[in-house]
Amino acid sequence: MGLGLLLTIIIIVIVLIILFTFIPFGLWIASIAAGVPVSLVNLIGMKLRRVIPAKIVLPLIKATKAGLKVSVDKLEAHYLAGGNVDRVIDAWIAAERAGIPLSFERAAAIDLAGRDVLEAVRMSVNPKVIETPVIAAVAKDGIELKAKARVTVRANIDRLVGGAGEGTIIARVGEGIVTTIGSAETHKEVLENPDRISKTVLEKGLDTGTAFEILSIDIADVDVGQNIGAKLRIDQAEADKKIYQAMAEQKRAMAVAREQEMKALTQEMRAKVVEAEVEIPKAIAYAFKEGKLGVFDYYQLKNIQADTSMRESISKISEEEKKEEEK
């Protein structure tokens, strides 16, 4: 009798341990105390579907206490889809308190899209300031200006799903700043009226297709950079100089090649003259042999050659004397 009772007590204890481990009685009691009817069957079903009951029951209690109506099935479906139930409920409550129209379905869709829905709601209440990096642009007079802007944006709940992010806002504002500075006749116009950049950029409607609404664009700083125009002209002049130098070098090389070519041609002609002079004695001997040249004709030819040689010598002496006088 005593052994049977002991076994019964042990079995009851084991069963209770399994029940308390498998069935979250604590959450069930907490839901009843908060006035949120969640049955044990639902809690057991969550366990079987591998859903953490606390991730569903606690946000449900929070939403009910805030006066918002939502079913367990919707919360569980959002959890199974990979969403953050607690963050969605917090965003829904914050939007309700701030008077921002936001349904649970919309908040869940924003959360599943990868956006921080709670941060978006907070940004709708408290606008965020986005600071752009230093943006360099060149005015028409060639002077570079470096501008830095602060963009005040507010989250647009309706465009959070599918809308572009902060990177697009920064890129568009940068493009607007570059366009405005580039269209200025002189850099002084921009320095005198920096608000001209803000007005021009705001008029472009840069928040179209983004998840934000641009409230204001303030130019934080404008600095003067390099004289890009002068630098470009210097670079162009240097490039032209190198081109002309290359052309001159090419002409000089062509002239040297032509000179060498003429020297070679001169040497060739001299060789031909020497070759022709070698034939003269042969021709004279042949003329003697054939009787076409007599002794008198031969000596007359020698006299002419001697006279020519004397004239050339006198001419060379005269040229040397002139050169010495000039020195």
**pLDDT-based confidence at 284, cuts 50/70/90?**
confident
Q: What is the CATH number of domain 128-230?
A: 3.30.479.30
**pLDDT-based confidence at 3, cuts 50/70/90?**
low
Has residue 1 got a pLDDT over 60?
no
pTM of the predicted model as reported, rounded to 2 decimal places: 0.55
Phi/psi region, residue 148 (left: phi>0; alpha: psi -120 to 50; beta: rest), is: beta
| d(C-alpha 59, C-alpha 82), whole Å | 16
Residue 213: name the closest of 144, 153, 301, 150 by CA: 153
> What does the pLDDT look like over 235-262, one tens digit per residue?
788 888 888 888 888 888 888 888 888 8
Q: What pLDDT score does 24 carry?
A: 66
Q: What pLDDT score does 5 carry?
A: 67
Domain boundaries along the sequence of the chain: 2-125, 128-230
Query: Which residue type sits at 188?
Result: K
Q: What pLDDT score does 57 carry?
A: 81
> What does the pLDDT look like over 34-47, one tens digit per residue?
677 776 777 777 77
> What does the pLDDT look like over 42-96, one tens digit per residue?
777 777 777 777 788 888 888 888 888 888 888 888 888 888 888 888 888 888 8
> What does the pLDDT look like over 197-207, one tens digit per residue?
778 777 777 77
Give me the phi and psi of 36, to 5 degrees please.
Answer: -110, 110
The angle that helices 40-48 and 53-65 make with each other, rounded to 10 degrees, is: 140
> What does the pLDDT look like over 125-165, one tens digit per residue?
888 888 888 888 888 888 888 888 888 888 877 777 777 77
Structure tokens, 173: 């504002």
Give me the phi and psi of 141, to 5 degrees please.
Answer: -85, 5
In angstroms, the Cα distances linking 288 to 46, 243, 284, 299 are: 140, 68, 6, 13
| d(C-alpha 46, C-alpha 208), whole Å | 43
| d(C-alpha 134, C-alpha 145), whole Å | 10
**pLDDT-based confidence at 118, cuts 50/70/90?**
confident
